[in-house]
Structure 1
Amino acid sequence: MYKSIACIAACILCVAGCAQSPAIPPPTACTAGPPLDLTRYMGRWYVIADTPFLSEHDYVGNYDEFTLLADGKIDDRYLGRRHDFGQPVTGSRFVAKVIPGTGNTKWRVGLIWPFEIVVITAYVDPEYRYTVRCMADGNMVWVLARDPQMDEGAYRDVLARLAAMGFHTDLLRRVPQKPEQMGQPGFQ
């Protein structure tokens, strides 16, 4: 019975991996940035752009909410509205653990026991207004900001930084954070 469940889980992960875009960044694209002040990093981060994947491609107004727990783990909530802004906020709740010795930049995020992914903070600006997070394999990237609207100049700077790191920025899609952005060029 347990072997069957493990086999099914492995097949699901394999299929999910195949559903990703064929243009895979080089393994070095997702590297950790400087150490983070974890307390300062906590709070709400709006998803400005991401590499859309199955579970979040039809959400708008997405945001992450990070809360440091007493035991050192992080309550990681990924929330948004499905299809349009008139829908209720829904999403997922995960528990993240900082990987020791990484300057708080690498987190193991528990999806469904026993599966975890490693999410890396590749960049955060000195004022903690913008950040770039990515999966360890570089396939998925999130550009996050403290405010739901990111200055266009700052967004272009982040894209240039990502391109210099080796990411395929043409795969990024902006996430509507207000109704009038829905359906606009470059937005999901």
Structure 2
Amino acid sequence: MNNRNIAIASTLLSAAAIGAYAVLRNSNNHPELPVEESVDLDRYLGEWYEIAHLPFKYEKGCFGVKAIYAKRDDGDIDVLNICHKDSLTGELDIAKGKACVVDTKTNAKLKVTFAWPFSGDYWILKVGKKYDFALVGTPDRDNLWILSRTPEMDENRLEKLRTHAQNLGFDTSKLIYTTQVEA
């Protein structure tokens, strides 16, 4: 084999290795993440309290975390995330974004954008029949949120959601439980 053929073979092997790494990294070795069969977005809109989440750099040091969703004139959803940063000063960290449905069959898969052009998955994995709780995650299993319409959640319901998330492949041992603030 001459030097030219060795160089070509080396380049092809490198490209194959990079491609294989990209596929493995993107798949994260997880099966497809099942979502709620049908989400009524009008019922999903409104205020949600965060009960727990997997570690997420944007929520470091947050408490009293809430999300407010409102329908936009263009059919997308305004997203307002609120987190308390300091109990003494009352400092708030507010993030405004936009969500759009990417799966109109279920309305359970959304993309959320806080800083264009960057967006993230927001998949509704489970929602209560009365839209009183929700389990939201990302298909790579890196992000998970347990949400409630009230600042507290019944321990039995919380355990069922943790178990469901664990069965889906989320590492629930890393859940951080959100302290809510007095109204």
> Is 1:164 aligned to residue 162 of structure 2?
no
Question: 1:144 aligns to what?
Answer: 147
RMSD over aligned Cα atoms: 2.0
Q: Distance in 2 between matches of 1:71 and 1:41?
A: 17
Q: Distance in 2 between matches of 1:117 and 1:90?
A: 19
Q: Distance in 2 between matches of 1:92 and 1:40?
A: 22
- Please, which of 57, 63, 74 is the counterpart of residue 54 of structure 1? 57
- Please, which of 58, 70, 76 is the counterpart of residue 73 of structure 1? 76
Deviation at 1:116, TM superposition (A): 1.3
Deviation at 1:148, TM superposition (A): 0.5
Deviation at 1:29, TM superposition (A): 6.9
- Structure 1 residues without counterparts, runs of 5 or longer: 1-24, 180-188
SS of match in other structure, 1:123: strand
Q: Provide the identity percentage.
A: 26
SS of match in other structure, 1:156: helix
Deviation at 1:86, TM superposition (A): 4.9
- Structure 2 residues without counterparts, runs of 5 or longer: 1-27
Deviation at 1:30, TM superposition (A): 3.6
Q: Deviations over 1:5-62 (max 9, x none)?
A: xxxxxxxxxxxxxxxxxxxx75237431111011000000100000122110211000
Q: Distance in 1 between matches of 2:31 and 2:95?
A: 29
Question: 1:12 aligns to what?
Answer: none
Number of residue pairs matched by the alignment: 156
Question: 2:36 aligns to what?
Answer: 33
Do the aligned residues in 2 keep the contact of 1:130 with 1:143 (CA within 8 Å)? yes
Do the aligned residues in 1 keep the contact of 2:95 with 2:114 (CA within 8 Å)? no
Aligned AA (1:165): L
Q: Distance in 1 between matches of 2:134 and 2:90?
A: 27
The alpha-carbon distance between structure 1 residues 27 and 83, as it changes in their structure 2 partners (threshold 3 A), is: farther
Do the aligned residues in 2 keep the contact of 1:26 with 1:138 (CA within 8 Å)? no
Question: 1:15 aligns to what?
Answer: none
Q: Distance in 1 between matches of 2:162 and 2:112?
A: 25
The alpha-carbon distance between structure 1 residues 120 and 177, as it changes in their structure 2 partners (threshold 3 A), is: same
Aligned AA (1:84): S
TM-score between the two structures when normalised by the length of structure 2: 0.78
Question: 1:63 aligns to what?
Answer: 66
Range with bigger deviation, 65-74 or 87-96 = 87-96
Range with bigger deviation, 39-48 or 29-38 = 29-38
Aligned AA (1:163): Q
